[in-house]
Amino acid sequence: RYTVNFTEKFGFNGFTIQTMTIPLIAYFYILIIFVIYVYNNNNSPIKKSGIYTLIVMYIVTFMTPANNLIYINVADAGQGLFTHVKYRNTDLIIDCGSSNNRDFGKYTVLPYLIKRGINQIDGVFISHWDSDHYSGLNDLLSSKIKVDNIFAPATNNEIIKDISILNKGMSYRTDKLNIDILWPEKDIISDKTNNTSLVMLINFNNKKILFTGDIEKDVENIIIDDIPEIDILLVPHHGSSTSSSDKFVYNSNPEIAVFSYGKNKYGIPHREVIERYKNEKSLILSTYEHGEINFVLKDDKIYYNTYTDIKSENYYELYFLGFVTKLMAFCILLIYIKIQGRRI
């Protein structure tokens, strides 16, 4: 233990690698089998063509340009919110906290990102400075994961990095991913921190995702005319009775309503709030009941999957879309090997 603690003081003390994907695991074992085969059959006629095939197969499968999909992952943060948004080579975090998970950054945020091989975050958006929305941030900033920018509606002296202030009318744009800030107004003064929360609208291929922080009914009434019909809504204030007014739910009319909460003493989410979304025929998903919730947006379609294996009816299309290209490449290369073997 002393040796481990001592070596941790140095900049380099090991490798951090992401969890291998199923295609990468399959490729890994194919590679091992081929190496063993070549070792036992050093004069095999397919030795050279096999090596070329494996190289090309790796390039086609794992080094092709990033696809035109956006991934939105709502992690199980307990009573709080932690969301990861990925588009091509851009990684964003929207809120990063929990009020009932101790050392949330150390034991949830960092393992979550490391597992996915993320070593750089382009932007962290903190809706407001309540602990259940930012408690893991300093652990993230102190880690080896590089954070380029932090955005929030106000400064916070506890945070060890400069903060860029966002107000209504501002936006964050990268390629086809647009994030528009709908609230708060510049220099807003409120006796409730909740009502200074960032309200962010993601617009991607005409699909709209709304992040609302902990805004309450007063703010909902102010911004209601700026909100179109929503495809995915992160429900305000975790489903508290102080938010999700009848008018807000009716006007936003979300296709999917996501509740991020854990076991709590606040009566969250409120039964009447849930009923309002059900009355609008919204699909209800929650981190408490379903664990992590993953969304994939492609063209005009939304796919979703949860930790408890609740899937959209079209979810298996994603397997098909990703599998067909790789299968075709593999078959073509396999035919090439056989042709080379016959020629030799």
Structural domain including 201 reads 70-312
127 three-class SS: coil
For residue 269, tell me if it sits in a domain.
Answer: yes
On whether both 281 and 196 belong to a single domain, the answer is: yes
For residue 200, tell me if it sits in a domain.
Answer: yes
On whether both 109 and 201 belong to a single domain, the answer is: yes
For residue 193, tell me if it sits in a domain.
Answer: yes
For residue 271, tell me if it sits in a domain.
Answer: yes
On whether both 59 and 74 belong to a single domain, the answer is: no
On whether both 337 and 213 belong to a single domain, the answer is: no
Closest of 79, 141, 131, 70 to residue 109, by C-alpha: 141
On whether both 51 and 126 belong to a single domain, the answer is: no
pTM of the predicted structure, to 2 decimals: 0.85
- Domain at 151, CATH number: 3.60.15.10
On whether both 279 and 140 belong to a single domain, the answer is: yes
Please, what is the average pLDDT of the chain? 89
On whether both 173 and 86 belong to a single domain, the answer is: yes
For residue 3, tell me if it sits in a domain.
Answer: no
On whether both 116 and 226 belong to a single domain, the answer is: yes
For residue 51, tell me if it sits in a domain.
Answer: yes
229 three-class SS: coil
On whether both 199 and 248 belong to a single domain, the answer is: yes
Q: Which residues of the chain have pLDDT under 50?
A: none
Closest of 293, 325, 298, 324 to residue 310, by C-alpha: 293
On whether both 75 and 155 belong to a single domain, the answer is: yes
Other CB atoms within 10 Å distance of the CB of residue 291: 16
Q: In total, how many domains does the chain have?
A: 2
For residue 1, tell me if it sits in a domain.
Answer: no
How far apart CA 287 and CA 156 sit, in angstroms, is 28
On whether both 41 and 98 belong to a single domain, the answer is: no
On whether both 257 and 180 belong to a single domain, the answer is: yes
